[in-house]
Chain A
């Protein structure tokens, strides 16, 4: 009897497991699936039209909607921002480690990283326009790189705390200066955290919407996140201003770099989450 009950429970368990999986799959998968379907469907047809997929949307965004221009802008901004972030966080983390500054001393910096860009974008806009940084690549790169800088510095410092002292000391006995130690020993040996910082900084810069929306309103410097909407949304079409198929084509291509990045860095994601990343939702 007990054995029967146990078997019954096991079957119930298995069914519950697969039902849960199915629900999760539906919840997480449907929007992505819908995105791909929309990107492949012609505008004139109703949406569910998988019989004859078309690549006309992709051709159209390349030919008529300047996809390449926006993609280049996005790449410039995010690469520039990432470079600044990585450089500053590496030297900052190294200095924090070398001077043995306790966490409590930089607590104020730490806490202010939790203030999102959104909370101070209005005075920031006035401030940056006074400095002449509105509608420039470098201005956007600064905005994107400064946001989480203390956090990345702290990440780097934490990694360096686990670094074997002997390697550094051996180099210094051989006559290396501290700067030389940083560039020829510390950096080559701390590629995992640097890679992690690069990935996080690049991903957040690539996907950022608010900073370009406010600071890069000129089409010459506008990146994809804003550009894909200004190119395809027709505000005068009252009933449905969105051209879903074109936007979907934009979105599919826009997603590719973060997805590629993820495939190479997902190993580190676990540690990253543990350290309290993902603050921006």
Chain B
């Protein structure tokens, strides 16, 4: 009697589980095989090819191998993700957490100041990306951007940030501006992770260091970093995957209203795939790029899963 009842309950619970799983499969997982199928065709978004398309095998992928625009967009994505995530967001976040931690322990005024910085950083993190992108655009804009207003009032020549001919270290200035902007927007993740982890560091270490006269950056280098090192692979992977196909910043900065005209397609793999599919209507080809991106992200997901603890 009892076991039958338990069995019935188990079935009900199992049915409960199938609802979200089915939802997830129906609206997300099914896309993966579907995307692979579309990438093997020459389907278009509009026109005759949208209704009747041909199966062309791996031709899209072969075309991809030889596409110089795809290569440079992949290169730019990698630069963006590595400089943003691995060099920028990780270290700035760590430094910020050290600063806030330091302020917490050294008097009322410093605590207030660092709490304000914390709120500011978190606000930057949680606010919509479109707004962040708009703020950056308002800083860089051609005519009335803040940086150009300042440059002009100092009697200097304004910089055209959006001109892709302006390069530094062989990479357009635009990309550097975007990297700076993305560090600004995203470094709070590593800050919060390391702040939470710093509570696990024994306070005695810092006390001992202070007695020895260590300054706070010495404490940072010799205590905080070694104690948080085990989190680095996880943080680097998450930050990398967050920046690798960053879309909103670029898209909004480049145009907003009528972006297709001025969109810098090689800025990012994702932007390239988007513009191929929605501006040139080559859905099959765009999807082939998507499949590559999905593969990259699946590998990243597996790695993140491994390093999560």
- Interface set of A (CB-CB < 8 Å, partner B): 6, 9, 12-13, 16-17, 20-21, 24-25, 27-32, 34-35, 38, 46-48, 88-89, 91-92, 94-96, 98-99, 101, 107, 109-116, 118-124, 126-127, 142-143, 146-147, 149-150, 153, 177-179, 203, 206-210, 213-214, 225, 228-230, 232-235, 239-242, 244, 247-248, 251, 254-255, 258-259, 261-262, 266, 269-274, 276, 278-281
Contact = CB atoms under 8 A, between A and B. Distances in A.
Contact of A269 (B192, B216, B245): B192
Going nearest first, the 5 A-B pairs with the smallest beta carbon separation are A233-B257, A207-B128, A114-B301, A235-B258, A95-B17
26 contacts: A20-B95, A34-B139, A38-B138, A95-B17, A98-B13, A114-B297, A118-B274, A119-B297, A120-B31, A120-B294, A123-B35, A143-B27, A178-B12, A207-B129, A229-B256, A233-B256, A234-B257, A244-B138, A247-B138, A248-B138, A269-B122, A276-B304, A278-B189, A278-B242, A281-B129, A281-B246
Given A114-B298, A233-B257, A94 B16 contact: yes
Contacts of A9: 213, 215
A209 B126 contact: no
Nearest to B246: A281
A112 B252 contact: no
B73 interface: no
A259 B123 contact: yes
A89 B16 CA distance: 11
Given A120-B35, A207-B130, A255-B127, A142 B241 contact: no
A101 B16 CA distance: 13
B184 interface: yes
Contact of A123 (B131, B186, B290): B290
Given A28-B121, A31-B135, A240-B141, 20 more contacts: A28-B117, A32-B135, A47-B144, A91-B19, A94-B13, A98-B13, A116-B297, A120-B35, A122-B274, A146-B28, A178-B13, A209-B129, A209-B130, A209-B248, A229-B256, A229-B257, A241-B258, A244-B141, A247-B134, A262-B122
Interface string B231-275: 000100010011101111001100111100100000000100110
A119 B241 contact: no
B260 to A, nearest CB: 10
Nearest to A228: B130
Contacts of B141: 240, 242, 244
A34 B149 CA distance: 12
B278 interface: yes
Interface centre among B114, B245, B297 (most CB of A within 10 A): B297
What bracket does the count of chain B residues touching chain A fall in?
35 or more
A149 B24 contact: yes
B143 interface: yes
A92 B17 contact: yes
A127 B217 contact: no
B168 interface: no
Interface of B: 9-10, 12-14, 16-17, 19-21, 23-24, 27-32, 34-35, 38, 43, 95-96, 99, 102-103, 110, 113-114, 117, 120-132, 134-139, 141-144, 146, 149, 182, 184-186, 188-189, 192-193, 195-197, 213, 215-217, 234, 238, 241-243, 245-248, 251-252, 255-258, 261, 270, 273-274, 277-278, 283, 286-287, 290, 293-294, 297-298, 300-302, 304-305, 308
Contacts of A142: 27
B38 A123 contact: yes
B115 to A, nearest CB: 11
A240 B9 CA distance: 64
Contacts of A29: 120
A262 B113 CA distance: 19
A235 B192 contact: no
Contact of B23 (A28, A88, A251): A88
